[in-house]
A = this chain, B = another copy of it.
Amino acid sequence: MRDVAIIGVGQTPVGEHWTTSIRHLTLEASLSALRDANIDQVDAIYVGNMLSGEITGQSHLGALVADFMGMTGVEALKVEAACASGSAAVRVGYMAVASGLLDLVLVVGVEKMTDTSGRETTSALAMAADSEYEVSQGLSFVGLNALLMRRYMHEFGWQREDFANFAINAHANGMHNPNAMFHLKISPESYARSSMIASPVSLFDASPVCDGAAAVVLAPAQYARTLSPTPVKICGSALATAPLAIHDRKMPLELEAARISAQRAYKQVGITPADISFFEVHDAFTIMAALSLEASGFAQKGQGVRMALEGDITINGRLPISTMGGLKARGHPVGATGIYQIVEAVIQLRGLAGPNQVKNARLGMTQNIGGSGATIVTHILEAMG
């Protein structure tokens, strides 16, 4: 097995791209990553996407992207794992390069969610949950997270306001990320009065519906330095699953797939959570950030919220999270999100995060969650220095 490195990254701004089609978004992020990697051809293109069929009426994105990039002939396919589609596609690219079968692989995640009615987007997103046992009961994705947040508050004695710092930190970091959807500082007061979507989930607990694309170029680590001045090694990669429906999980508040995938990744690298410099967390909802921190070993059960309350998660805190705005402020174009996280981790490890730079960033971890925790992908990245 060969070690694998990231030699180029690219991204589009996240936002409501009414005039840009899914193929154009993908092209923009992909070309940017290829330029960054100083290459103009790859052996394969793996696309992370969840909803192009339902929302845009276009499946077969692998061939579409290869075609639109003028790389016909190249191997290409799409990977889907709900909101974890992007990182699952990186996982496939990682295996392809690790195997020795392919050398240069472009992995691009894309989602265009705004080009439809809000109701349709909500319905399409709900397909990440169990259609026969959850969605058929009327549960939306916000509803599922509301159930989890309510239960968490009940079991561990937290108030809604205790989650505020997840959103406040994400928005503070998003201020300095030109690609973030929101450049808007929020305060404990604005969080407290933000409108309720599905109690206790308020607008400021939830990530936005948006469009965006992000891309990485993978190469064998042994050649990476000849191609890039600043390669970043993928030293841990793991994907794990848990029951699709929340009611099928023994402990709904323990993200079992996060625990398994984080442990596998730590083991692969030979580290403990304490060795991680920063964590790009899947803060699609504030409750998910808390649960992810706990399952990954950064906080005790029921105490993830305390890390936010005590300031541990800020850029200068014990474990900076959502360093470029997270899903909350950078945005959450679902199939692209896992790749945005990895792109941002690479920027941190290259020392190019500007005002958001995490000091002495050595090992960055990303965790991308599909559904309400059914698919969880953890990657650990290291600058090759």
The answer to whether A99 and B95 touch (CB under 8 A), given A67-B248, A76-B375, is yes
A355 CB–B CB distance under 8 Å = no
A203 CB–B CB distance under 8 Å = no
* A257 to B60 Cα, complex, angstroms: 14
A78 engages B81 (CB within 8 Å): yes
Shortest distance between the CB of A48 and any CB in chain B (Å)? 10
Interface stretch among A49-57, A152-160, A168-176?
Answer: A49-57
A199 CB–B CB distance under 8 Å = no
Residues 17-76 of A contacting B (Cβ, < 8 Å): 21, 23, 44, 50-51, 53-54, 56-64, 66-67, 72-76
Chain B residues, Cβ within 8 Å of A54: 53-54
Shortest distance between the CB of A111 and any CB in chain B (Å)? 12
A256 engages B371 (CB within 8 Å): no
Chain B residues, Cβ within 8 Å of A44: 239
A80 engages B98 (CB within 8 Å): no
Shortest distance between the CB of A226 and any CB in chain B (Å)? 21
Q: Which residue of B lies closest to A81 (CB)?
A: B77
B66 engages A127 (CB within 8 Å): no
B101 engages A63 (CB within 8 Å): no
26 A-B pairs whose Cβ atoms sit less than 8 Å apart in the complex: A44-B239, A53-B53, A57-B123, A57-B131, A59-B128, A60-B129, A60-B244, A60-B371, A60-B375, A63-B82, A63-B241, A63-B370, A67-B241, A67-B248, A73-B240, A73-B257, A74-B241, A75-B241, A76-B241, A77-B79, A77-B80, A77-B375, A95-B101, A96-B99, A98-B99, A99-B100
